[in-house]
Amino acid sequence: MFGHKDSNTATEKKLSVKDAMAQHIDALESGKELVFRLGEIYVKPFITIAHNPEYPAKGKKYIAFQEGAGPDNKPGGKRGKFWETNNTKEIASWILDREGHPYQG
């Protein structure tokens, strides 16, 4: 009645951008990748998140690679391992802190 929510009303919680990105990364199948582009100030603006196909036997679940842009402003083809983690929220937070967004090339 007063100040009491009816248990029959479903409240739908809207995901934050970070949580939505973390869920998207978490949905990656083994051996698949997602590419993100960081803000304009970064020399190596492309971050590729790969689901480690050797996990859990070897390494962490996700591997992040950093890559520069080629002459056509697309990923340059030469990337280096940057980071390994099991935490998708940590990845999403890091990308968003650097003005990152999904890249569709």
pTM of the complete model beyond 0.85: no
Q: How far is CA 47 from CA 1, 6, 7, 44, 75, in A?
A: 51, 45, 44, 8, 9
pLDDT for res 31: 86
**Region 34-51 average pLDDT:** 94
Report whether pLDDT(3) > 70. Answer: no
**Region 6-21 average pLDDT:** 75
| Structure confidence by residue, pLDDT tens digits, 70-104 | 999 999 888 999 999 999 999 999 999 999 999 98
CA neighbor of 101 nearest in space, from 47, 64, 28:
47
